[in-house]
Amino acid sequence: MPINSVRVRASGTGANLGLFYDHAGAAYSSPVLDLELSLAAEAGVSLTDFSSQQPTPAGRVRGTAGKLALEALLSTIDNAPIGVRLTYSEPEEDGFPTGGTGSSGAEAAAAVVAANALLELGMSPTDLILAAAKGEPGGHLDNVAPAVLGGIVFIDQNPDGSASFEKVTAPPELGLLLGISSHQKVGGTEAARNALKDPLPEDVQAAQDERALRAKQALSAGDVQLFLELVNTDEFHEPRRADAGVYGNFSAADLRNLRSNLAEQFGVALSISGAGPSMQFWYAASDRERVVVNEVVHPELQQFIDSWFGDHQMQMKLRPITIANTGAHVLK
């Protein structure tokens, strides 16, 4: 029986994961976006406005990434419907924060997964990822791949322009706090990328690549402690962006000091979520009692975070979450 609408849920994502710039991303259990895609009488792809409790990046309307991805997909389909409507909503009370939590990736992934279901297109996971990337500025895959697949996704981009995706289910011993920063980035992701225009020295790049390979192998093997040790040592994008003020009112030296203290006092490894300023605070189950108590952040860790970021005229709200091993999916 033909249907005229479908509802999909997609999770927020974090890209880069420290060492893996543009080559990895993780799907978050929270925040999430819901989308209803329906056939419409008016031609083209229309977007229903909705009021988010969180600010959107300057110059961008929430849902734009989904609209762009869907327009690109429909342009490739024979006998595509004359009109469709996208209606996004935020099921969580505190909404979907921006600035490194993959809101645009969730929008785009939800749109193409919904279209695939509504129009019975039979798209493969790789097709869905590539279609969703059409909604992302620059076509970045590291946000949309985990939004489509779930889990932690590693991306290999080939010289011919093709890409392959390896999904790793997060080990149950791996814990995560998502840090939502009060800092407002100036210039968005483009400005963050401009901080990386100068290449790294070859020896630094080689060491970075070697650590990234070891970290991927450690995660795949379930060696959480080694993964934490390695993910805490990015030398490619995070130090330069920190010195450029992308993450807030602190330098790369300050960031190294923060990392050292978090690891020593709490067993926590820090990486920036996407282009920031949101952050990922990773920990092992063996250190959970120092990090989370009764499903809330441990008071000593919370006090440390409040003090450190307060000293830098910022706030960092910590949210205990998990890796979502299910990607964008149709809601029954």
pLDDT tens-digit profile of 135-170?
A: 987 788 999 999 999 999 999 988 887 899 999 999
Cα–Cα distance measured from residue 80 to residue 62, given in angstroms and rounded to the nearest whole number:
24
Sequence-distant (6+) residues with CB within 8 A of 262 are 268, 269, 270, 281, 304
What integer pLDDT is reported at residue 50 of this predicted model? Answer: 67
- Look at the pTM and tell me if it is higher than 0.85: yes
Q: What's the N-to-C CA distance of the chain in angstroms?
A: 16
The phi and psi torsions of 114 (rounded to 5 degrees) equal: -65, -45
Cα–Cα distance measured from residue 67 to residue 110, given in angstroms and rounded to the nearest whole number:
10
What integer pLDDT is reported at residue 271 of this predicted model? Answer: 96
Map out the domains of the chain as residue ranges: 5-169+324-330, 174-321
Q: Please tell me which of 60-69, 85-94, 171-180 the model is most confident about, judged by mean pLDDT.
A: 171-180
Closest CA to 51 of 63, 40, 39, 41: 63
Cα–Cα distance measured from residue 227 to residue 211, given in angstroms and rounded to the nearest whole number:
10
What integer pLDDT is reported at residue 1 of this predicted model? Answer: 44
Mean pLDDT of 62-67: 90
Q: What is the pLDDT of residues 255-314, one digit of tens each?
A: 999 999 999 999 999 999 988 899 999 999 999 999 999 999 999 999 999 999 999 999
Cα–Cα distance measured from residue 166 to residue 239, given in angstroms and rounded to the nearest whole number:
27
CATH class of the structural domain 5-169+324-330: alpha beta
Domain 174-321 = CATH 2.130.10.10 = no
Q: What is the pLDDT of residues 36-47, one digit of tens each?
A: 999 998 899 999
Q: Which residue has the tokens 């009488």?
A: 41
Mean pLDDT of 248-252: 95
Cα–Cα distance measured from residue 291 to residue 297, given in angstroms and rounded to the nearest whole number:
6
